Structure 1
Amino acid sequence: MPRGQATGRVRGTAAPAPRAAAPPGARVSPAVRRLQGLVARVRRAWDRPLTAYYLLLGGSLLITGLGLVMVFSASQIQALRWDLPSTYYFRKQFTAAAIGTVLLLLASRMPVRLHRALAYPILAGSVFLMALVQVPGIGQEVGGNTNWLSFGGPFQLQPSEFGKLALVLWGADLLARKHDKNLLTQWKHMLIPLVPAALLLLGLIMLGGDMGTAVVLAAILFGLLWVAGAPTRLFATVLGAGAFIALMLVKGSEHRMARLGCIGATDPGPNDICWQGLHGIYALASGGWFGSGLGASVEKWGELPEPHTDFIFAVTGEELGLAGTLSVLTLFAALGYAGIRVAGRTEDAFVRFAAGGVTTWITAQVVVNIGAVLGLLPIAGVPLPLFSYGGSALLPTMFAIGLLIAFARDEPAARAALAMRQPVVRTRLAGMGRKSKRRRG
């Protein structure tokens, strides 16, 4: 080939004219390349075997830790109003969180077969305690609901919170055994005895008047049926029947009808029936982007009832602002994603049903609580999971998170990744020990 012709081709390629004629988007700027690389790295990190494990462990501990801070901030004035030490509620919540952490770690290390073995004892114990609540002189009324057992002094227990865990474990074990026998294709095996047992729990809860807990328990039932693959017609029938029963229960109670009328309220209403919901909105609105500062809430000074329990999210918005509330929502979203991921990646039917049930439980409770604080749903008296004050709600929830962590650890790829990391951790610890000995020497 003549040199001049080759040189012409090289010069033609280097000339700016062909580059200018390139179609739009053919050239990628360095900034776009860096962004694409960042997205690719995030995707690789997101698809790692231990992602769900770290999201569950880290997210739950962060929510619990931030909840302790907000309980301490939101409950001080409430404690002083009752002539109690300012740290009274915080100390009780801290004790419950410490016990709950032990339960979380135990549940995360328990094999799946042991979780299945606990299903029937937990269900029987929950039914017994929930029935005991209805015995006159034994059950205690708190906030208009008779769903508590008192053990003397400040120690109280709400058995219906453990009923949620019981329904998840027992329902998942029941459906898994029927799945292994290919019985879930028949609607009678899909519904019986799961639905009657759930109705028993719901009936015991509604005898005490706790509509909020009943809604969450019903959501768990629907979640189990959905994950089990209930046909659309069957699922819609059960959902419609549940909605009809809930509507009748609401219409049969003036108090519940009044709460329903407080959705989107802009004034306290007659007899200040919407006072709590309205001041929850005031608290969120006054927080702005970054809040008034930790401990600087105005609404907790007697204006907002239950600032450390049902409406702790409102105090969080007032003191930490939109940034704080979005952080809490992000952590809950991470828990929800991790639960769905665990349920979607397993081949074990029990793990799939139990992970779906726990995820539905936590997600539904978050929606009911925050929806009430935002004025989008009626106030149901449901605590924010892992965040609000209340040991009866915290302990079974942390055990359920430990259940999800155990499932995440049990994935084959996760087991292999954890097994590879153990020798590395031991080597690093041994190296740190040798260095400390040299320094002392």
Structure 2
Amino acid sequence: MATVGEAGPRVKAAGISAASTPRVTLAMRLRALDRPLTSYYLVLTASLLLVGLGLVMVLSASSVESYKNSGSVFSIVQKQAIWVCLGLPLMWITSRMSATMFRRLAFPAMFVSLAGLAAVLVPGVGHEVNGNRNWIYLGGPIQVQPSEAAKLALVLFGATVLARKQRLLDRWSHLMIPLVPMSVGVVFLVMLGGDLGTTVVLLAILLALLFFAGTPMRFFGFAGAVAGGLVLFLVYTEPYRMRRVTSFMDPFATYHDSGWQGAQSIFALSSGGLTGVGLGASREKWGYLPEAHTDFIYAIIGEELGLVGSLGVLALFAALVFAGFRIASRSRDMFVTLAAASITAWIAVQALVNIGAVLGVLPITGIPLPLVSYGGSALLPVMAALGILLSFARQEPGAQAALAARGPGPVRRGLAWLGFSRSPRT
């Protein structure tokens, strides 16, 4: 057995001294992130882990309510599993589509979204949930939220318009029109429905598109003032929303009224400690914390999995954000850069607003945690958007060669096993 400072037998046999044995340094680890498929695997891995964690936590957080309403603890998570089973193929399909196809879909997607947002405001068609008129019931248990799909439509529309005008963006008229008027129209329709959280995310997408298109920084001061004015308008025009904003500053001052949800969220996080009370052992899900499996699922994660689990979720979102901006920065196609950056901003801001509300540092706006919270209307557009990021990551420098060297993936191998052979794709 080699002593400390003495070369081991394998090193001696190879003729290498201990002094010359390479050490894995931080710089070497960082250089490993420069591999062609780094972005691809970061997006894929983080997305699947968040979706898987979401299913587990939806089961735990909704079990009491499910049993109360249906006599089965699985009724809510079964619906979420169906949405995941629809979302995974959708994510795979968009990951195989080209940037040209996304450009072609941009204008139809925007007009369909505008039609859906307008339909929500029609009496008898749109329905109000928790103070927001943003749902359309399609019959039975099926309901859709057009404002969620509008986020993806705005990404594709904005990236397409700005990329087409790439050489004209030094003129304000070409930079702003038609992107800003169309975006204002989308935001206005969402505001009429009273959805503050989605309004914030849509404004973040618009600002990301303009920022990465090279808009002068002085514009963002004006845009920030306008966006702040819109948010304040939404807050002051609805008493329940005003109570939400004021109660987050001190939820315990209105503990038995508007501060109840915020206070229970803090109780959940504080009781979790370092490692949590254990998966499935939440106390808050027993009717204390409203919306435990939707907007406040992060509080249940903190309670059951503790600080370790909470930070793990943050790390997965950080990986998604890093990969998304990496894809945007490495592409020479302006459409890809703008779409990747705005998708990343969408997911980052929505996660930030949701988690900030759970932690009590931001007002409660009623938006879900991407990929984790219950709800198909929110899940499917995000998974489609992540598929778009995967498509862009496949086109990064060296990625095609690396994918070809790796051989067919599990989906293609499964199709071949079933007898659906196809020519190899490079």
What is the rounded CA distance, in whole Å, between the counterparts of 1:290 and 1:372 in structure 2? 22
What is the rounded CA distance, in whole Å, between the counterparts of 1:274 and 1:424 in structure 2? 50
Q: Does the 8 A contact of 2:281 with 2:304 survive in 1? A: yes
Tell me: CA distance 1:333–1:34, structure 2 relative to 1, closer, same or farther (3 Å): farther
Tell me: CA distance 1:419–1:274, structure 2 relative to 1, closer, same or farther (3 Å): same
Q: For structure 2, which runs of at least 5 residues remain unmatched after alignment?
A: 1-16, 415-426
Please, what TM-score do these two structures have when normalized by structure 1? 0.86
Tell me: CA distance 1:287–1:184, structure 2 relative to 1, closer, same or farther (3 Å): same
The match for 1:99 among 67, 86, 96 is: 86
My pick for the range that moved more, 170-179 or 118-127, is 118-127
Cα drift, residue 214 of structure 1? 0.7
Tell me: CA distance 1:231–1:424, structure 2 relative to 1, closer, same or farther (3 Å): closer
Query: Where do residues 226-305 of structure 1 align in structure 2 (5 Å cutoff)?
Result: 226-267=211-252, 269=254, 272-305=257-290
Task: Tell me whether 1:323 sits opposite 2:308 in the alignment.
Answer: yes
Please, what TM-score do these two structures have when normalized by structure 2? 0.89
What's the counterpart of residue 19 of structure 1?
A: none
- SS of the residue corresponding to residue 256 of structure 1 reads helix
Task: Tell me whether 1:369 sits opposite 2:368 in the alignment.
Answer: no
What's the counterpart of residue 23 of structure 1?
A: none
Query: Where do residues 41-80 of structure 1 align in structure 2 (5 Å cutoff)?
Result: 41-80=28-67
What is the rounded CA distance, in whole Å, between the counterparts of 1:346 and 1:107 in structure 2? 18
Q: Does the 8 A contact of 2:357 with 2:365 survive in 1? A: yes
Cα drift, residue 44 of structure 1? 2.9
Q: Does the 8 A contact of 1:109 with 1:406 survive in 2? A: yes
Cα drift, residue 97 of structure 1? 0.6
Deviations 1:138-183 (A, max 9, x none): 111111211001011111100100000000000000000000xx11
What is the rounded CA distance, in whole Å, between the counterparts of 2:302 and 2:19 in structure 1? 36
The match for 2:344 among 359, 370, 384 is: 359
- SS of the residue corresponding to residue 141 of structure 2 reads coil
What is the rounded CA distance, in whole Å, between the counterparts of 2:76 and 2:408 in structure 1? 42
My pick for the range that moved more, 383-392 or 35-44, is 35-44
What's the counterpart of residue 133 of structure 1?
A: 120
What's the counterpart of residue 197 of structure 1?
A: 182
Structure 2 counterpart of 1:215, one-letter code: V
- SS of the residue corresponding to residue 140 of structure 1 reads strand
- SS of the residue corresponding to residue 412 of structure 1 reads coil
Structure 1 counterpart of 2:369, one-letter code: L
What is the rounded CA distance, in whole Å, between the counterparts of 1:159 and 1:409 in structure 2? 29
Q: How many residues in Structure 1 have an aligned counterpart in Structure 2? A: 396
Deviations 1:343-366 (A, max 9, x none): 000000000000011000000000
Q: For structure 1, which runs of at least 5 residues remain unmatched after alignment?
A: 1-29, 430-441
Q: Does the 8 A contact of 1:262 with 1:375 survive in 2? A: no
Tell me: CA distance 1:424–1:280, structure 2 relative to 1, closer, same or farther (3 Å): closer
The match for 1:411 among 366, 376, 396 is: 396
- SS of the residue corresponding to residue 85 of structure 1 reads coil
Q: Does the 8 A contact of 1:178 with 1:189 survive in 2? A: yes
- SS of the residue corresponding to residue 248 of structure 2 reads coil
The match for 1:113 among 88, 100, 108 is: 100
Task: Tell me whether 1:146 sits opposite 2:133 in the alignment.
Answer: yes
- SS of the residue corresponding to residue 389 of structure 1 reads coil
Cα drift, residue 419 of structure 1? 1.6
What's the counterpart of residue 174 of structure 1?
A: 161
- SS of the residue corresponding to residue 165 of structure 2 reads helix
My pick for the range that moved more, 75-84 or 164-173, is 75-84
Tell me: CA distance 1:283–1:423, structure 2 relative to 1, closer, same or farther (3 Å): closer
